[in-house]
Amino acid sequence: FGAPRFGGSRGGLLSGKKFGNPGEKLTKKKWNLDELPKFEKNFYQEHPDVVRRTVQEVEQYRSSKEVTVRGHNCPKPIINFYEANFPANVMEVIQRQNFTEPTAIQAQGWPVALSGLDMVGVAQTGSGKTLSYLLPAIVHINHQPFLERGDGPICLVLAPTRELAQQVQQVAAEYSRACRLKSTCIYGGAPKGPQIRDLERGVEICIATPGRLIDFLEAGKTNLRRCTYLVLDEADRMLDMGFEPQIRKIVDQIRPDRQTLMWSATWPKEVRQLAEDFLKEYVHINIGALELSANHNILQIVDVCHDVEKDDK
């Protein structure tokens, strides 16, 4: 971890002028993969204890935790933290937090993410999904060249709200500090100055709401040239909030051979379409009852009435 990681920007004042559509000034990049620097994304080495686990044991574990997987080459779940082979400083933070065992989404999500595969995780809030993507992100970053002045983040996490972005940043800060990485959180409704300064100093992990990130991309305050690990957190909420055009503009700025991880509490057709557009040969992991994840758009109508009227409703 020796050398410090640097970052910077090309300067230029932020324009207060608003254009018609978010990201209007961002043009879709034409990527020539032959000219892009090569990067690694598969760092997974199956622990001997995982190798020894039989098909029956794997199925029994998945069934007991309500884990359903779809897709090719999905690795076996890991049942203990040590089986993930995370760096020692990551393991120290895990031990400090007194976690006893990985949650279901971590157990199945970590081997998939560490293998460099694209994935969709359908799991409720509170399932441990943040660490499911952040810890593999740290492993991914540690295997990439150091940031140079002017480089943007290596890992980008898109989140629908400042509250979620700040929650993710709290978790990211603890683990990234232990690994001598820098992370920042950028969102609307807060002064731009401190956020710009963080980006100019260089951050490996950027957690962002789509609108503010587009502002900074258009103003040249950051770029996504180095981004090889993309996370869409609470994708269903981002679509519900009307962020799809912004998300598409942002993803157009990221090299197509990146690794993409998409997280959602539900799995409606709009989210499925986004996954088809952004992910390649992805593994789909569902935690909990499958029918719950499918039927999110049931319209519930509350009719306020007196007790005596109930039977007539």
**What pLDDT digit, counting tens, does each position of 225-238 carry?**
999 999 999 999 99
Asked whether residue 313 carries a pLDDT value surpassing 60, the answer given is no
Q: DSSP character for 90?
A: H
Structure tokens at 288: 């909990």
pLDDT of residue 16: 45
Q: Is residue 1 part of a domain?
A: no
Q: Is residue 286 part of a domain?
A: yes
User: Structural domain tally of the chain?
Assistant: 1
Best CA proximity match to 228, nearest among 207, 205, 255? 255
Q: Say how far apart CA 276 and CA 215 lie, in whole Å.
A: 27
Q: Is residue 57 part of a domain?
A: no
Q: Is residue 234 part of a domain?
A: yes
Q: Is residue 47 part of a domain?
A: no
CATH code for the domain of 227: 3.40.50.300
Q: Is residue 166 part of a domain?
A: yes
pLDDT of residue 50: 94
Q: Say how far apart CA 132 and CA 104 lie, in whole Å.
A: 10
3-class DSSP state of 245: helix
Q: Is residue 109 part of a domain?
A: no
pTM for this structure? 0.84
Residue 214 in contact with residue 140, Cβ under 8 Å?
no
Residue 152 in contact with residue 206, Cβ under 8 Å?
yes
Asked whether residue 6 carries a pLDDT value surpassing 50, the answer given is no
Scanning the structure block, which residue is given the tokens 């039989």?
Answer: 54
- Number of alpha helices (DSSP H) and beta strands (DSSP E) in the chain: 12, 8
Asked whether residue 11 carries a pLDDT value surpassing 50, the answer given is no
pLDDT of residue 32: 75
Residue 252 in contact with residue 29, Cβ under 8 Å?
yes
Percent over 70 (pLDDT), the chain: 85
Burial 243-255 (b: 16+ CB within 10 A, else e): bbebbebbbebbb
DSSP letters spanning 1-57: --SPP-------PPP-PPPSSTTTTPPPP---TTTSPP---------HHHHH--HHH
Q: Say how far apart CA 244 and CA 70 lie, in whole Å.
A: 25
37-84 pLDDT, tens digit per residue, is: 888 898 899 999 999 999 999 999 999 999 999 998 899 999 999 999
Q: Is residue 245 part of a domain?
A: yes
3-class DSSP state of 260: strand
Q: Read off the pLDDT band of 125 (50, 70, 90).
A: confident
Tell me the average pLDDT across 258-268: 94
Q: DSSP character for 224?
A: -
Sign (positive or negative) of CA dihedral 103, 104, 109, 114:
positive
Greatest Cα pair distance, the chain, in angstroms, is: 74
Residue 238 in contact with residue 158, Cβ under 8 Å?
yes
Structure tokens at 163: 């509250």
Domain carrying residue 136: 118-312
